[in-house]
């Protein structure tokens, strides 16, 4: 048993709880939040190093041995996602200090922010399928508050839609877990995998697998269940949008990757074939949206949908190389989406609009903002040697190697359209004749730019450091492609 594994859950839990008592003291909330966030980064890095050096870490809560008790499991994939979540949480927190209005800060913004991190880290760490549902609900309840906090008309309207979709998806989640338990008699994911391997993939298991795909697809914005995302993510302020765009859909993607590699790996021809088709359609829909809009928030939001498809295409291909590509790409996308949403948040704050046809010439007054966006946009499109390149190369090469030429070609072509959509923003917003904006002198650009700049530097280092990171990523991919490693670590076989 390793108690280190529970710290990324306890730190946001206790930090969020303490912050409740200082709701009206903004300065104290900021200091406590910053301290808690830095501590999360340190602990998550320590946990990742421990997993890499000593292997998968597990903790049986209440000293009930798996599969009878609740087990927390941190393999390399889980640890990497927790590290990335902690980093993004920290920079979004710094950004919030000067972006979020005091009224929102005094209405429990920071406590709910940490409860959101608790739900996300818990979903990445749990080894129990029902507790995956529990942590999903913690995450979603926090997101409801962050989405509606401020009470504008668009926030209220989109929160109702967002809540309705997720309540239905959560109901289906419980039904799917109930069906699965009735068949295998266990909730421990490692034990479920053993039971399913003994039974073989019968018709009922395939139906349950599809039901889980519907549930996680709705939460992760997989085609055709993405319809709620563009409107809902458009409503909140930039730091909340960055958290949502970088992290929430990734929990759905992670859940698909975990269940479709560990549990539902018997009838790969059908289950993974279905996932592959939906992933390709998701990419196509996302690309169409990204190139169709002139609203900079909508363009980046639709690029979330493109990334969902790219990552899940790698999962569907189901080779160690393609899974490594998906892991590279999910870490890259979490980081770069947060950076881009924070950057366009600064642009919107300066110009007072998100319509790029009403902007122009920002590079003349804010060159650092412009070039930071340019580097982030290039990373988004997978331009070498930035962070988006290695994952996409592995996914595409695996697709071609496995004979899926159409799917790999769609992933490859999507890079061109993503680049076009991002450069469209750069040319319209930053290039051209300088405009004068009423709010430009009031916006603390240097402070706000620090957060996305940190993430953009990380994207550059991630790309240049691919060779150093490759053994770590392959460690994570090996656990996904070889479920026995995970099972043996949890069940101590």
Domains held by the chain: number: 1
Question: In this predicted structure, what is the pLDDT of residue 231?
Answer: 86
Distances (CA, A) of 432 to 174, 292, 445: 53, 21, 20
Torsions phi, psi of 71, nearest 5? -115, 135
Share of the chain above pLDDT 90, in %: 63
- pTM given for the model: 0.93
What pLDDT, in 10s, does the model give residues 418-458? 999 999 999 988 887 777 777 767 788 888 999 999 999 99
What pLDDT, in 10s, does the model give residues 172-214? 999 999 999 999 988 999 999 999 888 876 788 899 999 999 9
Question: In this predicted structure, what is the pLDDT of residue 444?
Answer: 84
CA distance 233 to 246: 11
Cis peptide before 129 (omega within 30 of 0): no
Beta strands 57-60 and 71-74 are antiparallel
Question: In this predicted structure, what is the pLDDT of residue 232?
Answer: 86
CA distance 409 to 400: 8
Question: In this predicted structure, what is the pLDDT of residue 493?
Answer: 59
pLDDT surpassing 60 at residue 1: no
What's the mean pLDDT when you consider all of the chain?
Answer: 90
Residue with tokens 């993510």: 233
pLDDT surpassing 70 at residue 27: yes
Confidence band, pLDDT 50/70/90 cuts, at residue 324 = very high
What pLDDT, in 10s, does the model give residues 95-148? 999 888 887 888 889 999 999 999 999 999 998 999 999 999 999 999 998 988
Q: What is the mean pLDDT of residues 388-396?
A: 92
pLDDT surpassing 90 at residue 355: no
Question: In this predicted structure, what is the pLDDT of residue 285?
Answer: 95
CA distance 136 to 121: 10
CA distance 331 to 336: 9
pLDDT surpassing 70 at residue 245: yes
pLDDT surpassing 80 at residue 295: yes
Tokens in use for 81?
Answer: 């996602």
Question: In this predicted structure, what is the pLDDT of residue 119?
Answer: 94
Question: In this predicted structure, what is the pLDDT of residue 379?
Answer: 93
Question: In this predicted structure, what is the pLDDT of residue 354?
Answer: 86
Question: In this predicted structure, what is the pLDDT of residue 359?
Answer: 85
For the ranges 79-83, 102-106, 255-259, 409-413, the lowest mean pLDDT is seen at 102-106
Using a 10 angstrom Cβ sphere, with 0-12 exposed, 13-18 middle and 19 or more buried, the burial of residue 130 is middle
For 424, the domain range is 3-491
Could you tell me if 356 and 294 are in contact, meaning their C-beta atoms sit under 8 angstroms apart?
Answer: yes
Confidence band, pLDDT 50/70/90 cuts, at residue 414 = very high
Residue with tokens 């169709």: 292
Question: In this predicted structure, what is the pLDDT of residue 201?
Answer: 66
């Amino acid at each position: 048993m390793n108690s280190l594994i529970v710290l990324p859950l306890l730190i946001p839990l206790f930090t969020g709880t303490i912050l409740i008592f200082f709701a009206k003291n903004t300065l104290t909330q900021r200091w406590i939040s910053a301290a808690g966030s830095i501590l999360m980064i340190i602990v998550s890095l320590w946990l990742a190093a421990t997993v890499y050096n000593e292997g998968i870490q597990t903790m049986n809560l209440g000293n009930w041995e798996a599969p009878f008790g609740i087990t927390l499991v941190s393999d390399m994939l889980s640890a990497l996602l927790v590290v990335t979540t902690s980093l993004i949480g920290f920079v979004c927190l710094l950004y919030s200090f000067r972006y979020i209005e005091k009224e929102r800060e005094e209405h429990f913004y920071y406590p709910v922010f940490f409860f959101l991190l608790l739900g996300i880290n818990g979903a990445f760490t749990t080894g129990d399928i029902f507790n995956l549902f529990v942590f999903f609900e913690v995450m979603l309840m926090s997101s409801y508050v962050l989405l509606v906090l401020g009470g504008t008309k668009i926030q209220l309207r989109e929160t109702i839609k967002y809540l309705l979709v997720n309540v239905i998806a959560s109901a289906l989640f419980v039904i799917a877990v109930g069906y699965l338990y009735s068949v295998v008699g266990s909730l421990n994911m490692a034990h479920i995998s053993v039971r399913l391997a003994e039974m073989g993939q019968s018709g009922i298991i395939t139906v349950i697998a599809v039901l889980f795909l519907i549930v996680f697809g709705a939460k992760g914005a997989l085609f055709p269940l993405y319809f709620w995302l563009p409107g809902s993510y458009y409503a909140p302020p930039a730091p909340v949008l960055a958290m949502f765009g970088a992290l929430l859909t990734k929990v759905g993607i992670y859940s698909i990757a975990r269940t479709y590699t560990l549990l539902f790996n018997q009838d790969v021809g059908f289950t993974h074939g279905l996932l592959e088709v939906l992933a390709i359609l998701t990419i196509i829909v996302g690309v169409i949206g990204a190139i169709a809009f002139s609203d900079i928030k909508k363009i980046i939001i639709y690029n979330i949908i493109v990334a969902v498809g790219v990552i899940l295409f790698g999962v569907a291909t189901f080779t160690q190389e393609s899974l490594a590509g998906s892991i590279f790409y999910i870490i890259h996308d979490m980081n770069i989406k947060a950076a881009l949403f924070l950057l366009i948040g600064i642009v919107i704050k300066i110009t007072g609009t998100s319509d790029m046809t009403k902007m122009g010439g920002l590079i003349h007054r804010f060159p650092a903002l412009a070039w930071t966006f340019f580097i982030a946009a290039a990373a988004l499109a997978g331009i070498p040697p930035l962070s988006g390149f290695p994952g996409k190369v592995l996914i595409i090469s695996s697709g071609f190697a496995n004979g899926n030429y159409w799917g790999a070609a769609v992933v490859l072509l999507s890079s061109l359209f993503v680049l076009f959509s991002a450069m469209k923003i750069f040319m319209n917003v930053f290039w051209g004749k300088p405009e004068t904006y009423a709010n430009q002198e009031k916006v603390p650009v240097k402070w706000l730019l620090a957060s996305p700049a940190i993430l953009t530097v990380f994207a550059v280092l991630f790309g240049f450091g691919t060779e150093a990171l490759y053994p770590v990523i392959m460690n994570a991919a090996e656990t996904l492609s070889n479920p026995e490693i995970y099972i043996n670590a949890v069940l101590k076989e």
